[in-house]
Amino acid sequence: MPGITFEDFTPGMAIDGGPLTVTEAEIVAFAAEFDPQPFHLDAEAAQATFVGRLIGSGWQTAGFGMRLLQRHAFRGATSMGSPGIAELRWIRPVLPGDAVSISVHVESCRASNTKPDRGFVVFAMTILNQDGEPVMTQNFTVMFARRGATPLPPRRVEAPDDAPLIESADAEPLCFLETAPLGAARELGAHRFTPEAVMAFARTYDPQAFHLDPEAARQTHFGGLCASGWHTAAAWMKRLHITRGRDVVHTARTGPVPQLGPSPGFRDMRWLAPVYAGDTIRYTCTLVDKRATASRPGWGLATHQNVGVNQRGETVFSFTGSVFWQWAPGA
């Protein structure tokens, strides 16, 4: 990859970048597309929620971090992608008007044992607001080309999915967390990644060549235009809310609807295979753990395991997340 290589990084290196000012319009636009919760969409409606004010989606904050990372740590160039994120924590909300910056530390560097054209760099990144307060931390790995190495042949890209995409009409009752059964899986439905949407997301949050330009992408190891990993994650959130919307209507017919709060973060996010333009990903969310929270009476913390599977039955995406969830009716 021109412009940045594995050898440009050494353990202990520190990289700072920013700021980037976040507008209310950007917050609302992202939420409307991917994370339509009241505390991301409308300042007045947000006052009646767990959060109490308008805040940015955590997924958007991660996207802003990627934009700053590409601009500063990658020096505007293109990596070879990321296999995943060990842990991400959302510490403070990002508010309209905040100016965010990044502080990045290189934790370790190692050459690939199986692919001599690349190496792995482990980063620890903190996103800070204008007051120097951390709003997000992220520990993750990125692949970079080895300087002077002969690139391996690009991947073979399958034909895009052209099967009709039909939205399900199914609905299930929503439980308060106290009575929600562990192991219960909810099918969230499918999202198709069109070339136009892949490139639009990349222009705003992840402007690397294999997300931005079909011809340039064909010259990379991916062999074709593919979605940002953050786009894959944001689409999971979009599908969660589309499915939950049906479940809310169904549940409200017979009783109270449990509220969801924000997420404190996630762990073990894996991008297991590229999501190419034209691919269709089906997502599933499974409740795997829960507990009441002493710090927020009436609320609990749910742990959920999530996977995304493409039209060929290949698991391409997974992570373990957490979210605040109303514990019991009237709480």
Whether the predicted model's global pTM rises above the 0.75 cut = yes
Dump pLDDT digits (tens) for 265-290: 999 999 999 999 999 999 999 999 99
Instruction: Report the alpha-carbon distance of residue 327 to residue 290 in Å, rounded.
Output: 10
∠ at Cα 312 (211, 203), nearest 5°? 10
Dump pLDDT digits (tens) for 83-120: 999 999 999 999 999 999 999 999 999 999 999 999 99
Contact 265, 314 (CB under 8 A): no
Dump pLDDT digits (tens) for 37-72: 999 999 999 998 888 999 999 999 999 999 999 999
Closest CA to 71 of 95, 94, 102: 102
Instruction: Report the alpha-carbon distance of residue 183 to residue 288 in Å, rounded.
Output: 6
The answer to whether the 1-147 and 170-331 domains have the same CATH topology is yes
Instruction: Report the alpha-carbon distance of residue 139 to residue 123 in Å, rounded.
Output: 6
**Weakest-pLDDT range from 151-160, 224-233, 299-308:** 151-160
Q: Give Dmax (Cα) for the chain.
A: 66
∠ at Cα 100 (95, 104), nearest 5°? 140
Q: Where are the domains of the chain?
A: 1-147, 170-331
Instruction: Report the alpha-carbon distance of residue 220 to residue 211 in Å, rounded.
Output: 11
AA letter at 144: F
The CATH architecture one would assign to domain 170-331 is: Roll (3.10)
The CATH number, out of the four listed (3.10.129.10, 3.30.10.20, 2.40.40.20, 3.40.50.460), of the domain defined by the range 1-147: 3.10.129.10
DSSP code, position 8: G
Contact 160, 279 (CB under 8 A): yes
Contact 331, 297 (CB under 8 A): yes
AA letter at 137: T
Q: What percentage of the chain carries pLDDT values higher than 90?
A: 96
307 pLDDT band, cuts 50/70/90, is very high
Q: Is the dihedral of CA 196, 202, 204, 207 positive or negative?
A: negative
Closest CA to 62 of 226, 234, 212, 272: 234
Dump pLDDT digits (tens) for 127-159: 999 999 999 999 999 999 999 999 999 999 999
